[in-house]
């Protein structure tokens, strides 16, 4: 059977993993309490899995997809002992998981793969169905790690031999099956001997940069400093950033990229200062059915994520906040898209289409 954690240990050279599947039990590292606590939560049902995605216990497009795949396995597990795994059970779990968050296409992609795996064994004995679903979820996980490592290899060549690399949000091991997309590229460049350090935007309001990117880079001894999001432009203008690398939640057919709010601003300033701006993402993040960024659904989360800091309300009573959590970076601001299949360059429509041939 595929064993993603051993695979990562042998090939990945990265210590943080956001999920575990052990003896048919599913666990998630609770990213809401990092870096203060390393708390593992046992997830027992598809519904709990959807809630974990919604509440950001697990986050990052590829990690959400892998988690949803295990959510489907849990749905099958919950249905065994009743004679047959009913298609209704599978369809309900798929719908529930698909609704958990709207922007990352990896979620729907993984659920779709699990549905196809189920179709192949529909009507067969319960244990056969369970094993097929378990195997598919493990494959999705391991393929993600393999993609990240391949992406790292392609992307490392684009990173300068020395200097500072800016990143936004967390597109690392914690956001994937392990190793990371943007941080995978940075890891590969660092391990190849490049003299680089990382400037991590803190990433308001949820602080994925300050809490998570800094956490996993520190764990792997990769030099990192955190800055407020609004300082990134200042450093780029001063010539203190040599490249920007970010991840993606969905890449439209024309190369427009949905990623964490603030990515567009970083791309715009990088463009204005002639700094290469790279997006690293697996092919599972490419969405050829969405023509451009304006067709991507942008998640809007509760305003309390913005207004409340460390338990205190930071705005005067009666003042509201708005909290879109992703934005769209137009394709023309992106120097290259790094995938496991190679480095895509403009024009992106044909480069992206070629990944599906």
Asked if 194 contacts 162 with a C-beta cutoff of 8 angstroms, the reply is: yes
Q: Is 181 in the site for ligand MRU (CB under 6 A)?
A: yes
Given 208, 213, 290, 323, the residue binding ligand MRU (CB under 6 A)? 208
Min dist CB 148 to ligand MRU, Å, is 8
Q: Which residue is nearest to ligand MRU (CB)?
A: 247
Residues 6+ apart with CB under 8 A from 293: 252, 254, 256, 257, 258, 328, 329, 330
**Of residues 181 and 290, the one with the C-beta less far from ligand MRU:** 181
Beta strands in 86-213 (DSSP E): 162-167, 195-201
Q: Which of 249, 256, 287, 327 is catalytic?
A: 249
Q: What is the dihedral of CA 285, 13, 39, 200, to 10 degrees?
A: -60
User: Does 30 interact with ligand MRU (rule: CB under 6 A)?
Assistant: no
Among 29, 72, 169, 210, binds ligand MRU (CB under 6 A): 169
43 vs 151 by CB, closer to ligand MRU: 151
The verdict on 207 binding ligand MRU (CB under 6 A) reads no
Does 177 sit near ligand MRU (CB under 6 A)?
no
Nearer Cβ to ligand MRU, position 118 or 152? 152
Cα separation, 253 vs 353, whole angstroms? 7
- Cα separation values, 102 from 53, 107, 231, Å: 11, 9, 29
Closer to ligand MRU at the Cβ: 84 or 343? 343
255 touches ligand MRU (CB under 6 A): no
249 is a catalytic site residue = yes
CA 315 to chain centre: 31
The single residue among 89, 176, 254, 335 that binds ligand MRU, judged by CB under 6 A, is 176
Query: Using the rule CB under 6 A, which residue among 175, 196, 333, 344 binds ligand MRU?
Result: 175
Residues 12, 18, 60, 209: which binds ligand MRU (CB under 6 A)? Answer: 60
- Cα→Cα distances 241→24, 52, 315, Å: 45, 35, 33
Q: Any idea what the Cα angle at residue 344 is, between residues 295 and 331, rounded to 5°?
A: 35
Structure tokens at 61: 């497009």
323: contact with ligand MRU by CB under 6 A: no
What residues contact 80, with CB distance under 8 A and at least 6 apart? 126, 127, 130
Part of the chain binding ligand MRU (CB under 6 A), chosen from 19-27, 55-63, 225-233, 330-338? 55-63
Tokens of 81: 């002992």
42: left (phi over 0), alpha (psi -120 to 50) or beta: beta
How many positions of this chain bind ligand MRU (CB under 6 A)? 17
**Based on CB atoms, which residue is closest to ligand MRU, 208 or 335?**
208
Residues annotated catalytic, as ranges: 249
Q: Which residues are at the interface with ligand MRU (CB under 6 A)?
A: 59-62, 104, 169, 171, 175-176, 181, 208, 247-249, 259-260, 325
């Amino acid at each position: 059977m595929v064993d993603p954690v051993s695979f990562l240990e042998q090939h990945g050279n990265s210590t943080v993993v956001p999920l575990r599947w052990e003896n048919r039990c599913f666990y998630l590292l609770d990213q809401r309490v990092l870096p203060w606590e390393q708390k593992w939560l046992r997830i027992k049902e598809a519904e709990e899995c959807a809630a974990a995605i919604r509440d950001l216990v697990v986050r990052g497009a590829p990690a959400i997809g892998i988690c949803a795949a295990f959510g489907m396995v849990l749905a099958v597990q919950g249905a065994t002992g009743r004679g047959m795994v009913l298609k209704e059970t599978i369809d309900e779990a798929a719908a529930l998981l698909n609704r958990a968050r709207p922007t990352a296409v990896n979620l729907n992609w993984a659920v779709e793969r699990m549905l196809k795996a189920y179709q192949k064994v529909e009507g067969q004995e319960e244990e056969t169905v369970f094993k097929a679903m378990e195997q598919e979820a493990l494959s999705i996980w391991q393929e993600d790690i393999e993609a990240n490592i391949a992406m790292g290899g392609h992307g490392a060549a684009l990173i300068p031999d020395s200097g500072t690399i800016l990143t936004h949000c967390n597109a690392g091991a914690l956001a994937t099956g392990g190793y990371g997309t943007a941080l995978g590229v940075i890891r590969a460049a660092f391990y190849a001997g490049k003299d680089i350090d990382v400037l991590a935007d803190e990433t308001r309001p949820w602080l994925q940069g300050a809490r998570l990117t800094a956490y996993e880079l520190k764990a792997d001894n990769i030099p990192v400093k955190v800055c407020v999001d609004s300082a990134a432009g200042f450093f780029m203008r001063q010539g203190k950033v040599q490249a920007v690398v970010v991840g993606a939640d969905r890449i439209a057919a024309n190369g427009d990229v949905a990623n964490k709010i603030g990515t567009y601003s970083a791309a715009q300033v990088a463009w204005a200062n002639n700094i290469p701006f790279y997006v690293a993402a697996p092919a599972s993040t490419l969405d050829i059915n969405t023509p451009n960024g304006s067709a991507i659904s942008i998640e809007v989360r509760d305003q309390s994520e913005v207004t409340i800091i460390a338990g205190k309300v930071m705005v005067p009573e009666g003042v509201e906040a708005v909290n879109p959590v992703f934005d769209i970076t137009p394709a023309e601001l992106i120097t290259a898209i790094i995938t496991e299949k190679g480095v895509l360059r403009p024009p992106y429509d044909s480069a992206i289409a070629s990944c599906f041939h």
